Amino acid sequence: MALLDGRVAFITGAARGQGRHHAVRFAREGAHVIALDVCAPISEDVGYPAATPEDLEETARLVRAEGREIVTAIGDVRDQQALQDAVDAGVERFGRLDIVVANAGISTWNRFWEMPEEQWTTMIDINLNGVWRTLKAAVPAMIGGGRGGSIIVVSSAAGLKAAPGTANYTSAKHGLVGLTKTAAIELGEFGIRVNSIHPSAVDTPMGNDVNVGKLLARYPCYVDNYKWPLAGMDKCGVDDISDAVLYLASDASRTVTGAQLPLDLGLTTV
């Protein structure tokens, strides 16, 4: 039997990168998928190309190629109704919701006192408030199903360790730890586990943001903050992250809740 046979997962930021890989791996393990992505540019401060509707269509094709079904939605995690509509459409189609992967997010770079207010507030509204909205939309369906479930919040190494040049991102990702722990307490009585993962740089479009190199070239004193002890690996691979997400989504982690799982090549742990 596959790890997630018969279950349904809601994944945000699913058009490409980590979100797409989670969707495909879940499908391979027997889960149907509800996939949401904004599929559009968000901010001029973002230094990598935006996902497109065609990217989300490719995610759907890959999920179906694994023999599972998918409901897709184009929507912004800043829009509560868009999230609710996606969840409702998926639950209507599949009859249940068991897993949530709050993955959608952006990355921008600047020193905090030189950061326009919009750069700060956009980050917080997507990377922190957007996760809260995602859980708010999804949790009632999980509770109503009466089967428990698993929520995986995608934070960052920057959610455990300060990262210069990205105070907005670091603040949002630290905030997710508080949300994760509180949600784990509040949802425990319903058998719903809530955990956060904390990757360092991942080999995705966001992980290859050209603005990182530009900032570190301007402020080389920051470079040591982005060095990890595990030699021979430049970045985490998307499959590395999906391995951890699949573990947390499955019954293999049935005793784990409220935890922060570093996936950071040792950046925050040694």
- How far the first Cα of the chain sits from its last, in Å, is 38
The tens digit of pLDDT for each residue in 195-224 reads 999 998 898 988 888 898 898 999 999 998
Mean pLDDT, the chain, integer: 96
- 5: pLDDT strictly greater than 80: yes
Which two tokens mark 130? 């957007």
Comparing CA positions, the residue from 81, 84, 134 lying closest to residue 104 is 134
What pTM did the predictor assign? 0.96
The residues carrying an active-site annotation are 169
> Rounded distance, CA 265 to CA 262, Å?
8
Comparing CA positions, the residue from 151, 101, 245, 252 lying closest to residue 263 is 245
Q: Which phi and psi (to 5°) does residue 196 adopt?
A: -120, 150
Q: According to the model, what pLDDT value does residue 180 have?
A: 98
Alpha helices in the chain (DSSP H): 17-28, 53-65, 80-94, 117-123, 129-145, 167-187, 210-218, 238-249
Handedness of CA 202, 203, 208, 212 (dihedral sign): positive
Q: How far is CA 72 from CA 110, 184, 188, 239, 253, in A?
A: 34, 27, 29, 22, 27
The tens digit of pLDDT for each residue in 94-145 reads 999 999 999 999 999 999 999 999 999 999 999 999 999 999 999 999 999 9
